[in-house]
Amino acid sequence: MGPALEGVVRLGLIAGNGRFPFLVLEAARAQGHAVTVIAAREETFPDLEGLAARVGAAIHWISLGQLGTCLRVFEEAGVTHAIMAGQVKHTKIFSGGIVPDMTFLSVLRRVRSMSTDGVIGAVAELFRERGIELIDSTALLAPLLAGAGVLTARQPTDEERADFAFGYPVADGLASLDVGQTIVVKRRAVVAVEAMEGTDAVIARAGTLAGAGTVVVKVARPRQDMRFDVPVVGVATISAMAAAGATALSVDAAKTLLIDGAEVVVAANAASISILGRERAA
């Protein structure tokens, strides 16, 4: 795990897609950190540039795989700590979407597999060698981490709890293998398993396969590294569940980011979807 922030620092933000990097940037500037943003041309939402201008943060747009440029920008800005926030689609690794520079190629030669943990772990080690600590991606957003217990107005039914219980060892096993973090279950049968397509896509596929009445189990890895690939759910997740007829969602308490905060629970209540924060043994 990366260290937590102590005092005011020069912070580097490596931004993928989604709202996660927006929240990190706002929180970092509100706490007085000087922020230098690296935005991925292929992934980061363009509106991040406007936010950076409003809050007084430098932003640099580079292509995926240009790790040497990223390090050079951070070193020139005096960055001492960095945060990765936002998704980079895993499929880009295999579709030619990433053209690695020599620095990134040197990192790829260190890894034994092209899993998220393998690649990003090697990047984190290179950062450390260059004097930059990669820290917990939720370090500035602790209030948005899912709490324990039932988070919604509706309790899970006995049937939904039974499906959760059935799904946990399956989801935990897949997550430990770095396959995916989400499965969909119906009547104690696994309907769909997430790989590279993302949570919303696997929920939609499950609705096509099994119809209404599914439950969604989203887990952290057994030894989740909170510096990267933290489980995230938002209002879009609830919308995908409602469209697919899914009725309940389990997430890991203190390990899952509710990216839209209380709005996630509001949306779930409106759709009569139950959300459970699972407490896991340390």
pLDDT digits (tens, 9 = 90+) for 51-82: 999 999 999 999 988 999 999 999 999 999 99
pLDDT at 148: 97
pLDDT at position 1: 44
Q: Are 217 and 181 in contact (CB under 8 A)?
A: no
Q: What is the pLDDT of residues 197-232, one digit of tens each?
A: 889 999 999 999 999 999 999 999 887 888 877 899
The pLDDT of residue 8 is 82
User: What is the side-by-side order of every strand in the sheet holding 182-186?
Assistant: 149-150, 274-278, 248-252, 215-218, 182-186, 189-193
Q: What pLDDT score does 26 carry?
A: 97
**Model confidence, pTM:** 0.86
- Name 56's Cβ contacts closer than 8 Å, sequence gap at least 6: 29
* Residue 238 pLDDT: 98
pLDDT score at 7: 76
- Tell me the pLDDT of the chain (282 aa) as tens digits: 444 567 789 999 999 998 999 999 999 999 999 999 999 998 999 999 999 999 999 999 999 889 999 999 999 999 999 999 988 765 555 555 678 889 988 888 877 666 666 777 888 889 999 999 999 989 999 999 999 999 999 999 999 999 999 999 999 999 988 888 999 999 999 999 998 888 999 999 999 999 999 999 999 988 788 887 789 999 999 999 999 999 999 999 999 999 999 999 999 999 999 999 999 876
Q: Report the sign of the C-alpha dihedral through residues 96, 101, 103, 105, in that order.
A: positive
Task: Please tell me the distance from the alpha carbon of residue 51 to that of residue 217, in angstroms, as a whole number.
Answer: 34
DSSP letter for each residue of 171-205: HHHHHHTTS-SEEEEETTEEEEE-SSS-HHHHHHH
Neighbour-count burial for 21-49, b at 16+ CB within 10 Å, e otherwise: bbbbbbbbbeeebbbbbbbbeebbbeebe
**Amino acid 142: pLDDT:** 92
Cα-flanking dihedrals φ and ψ of residue 186, to 5°? -145, 125
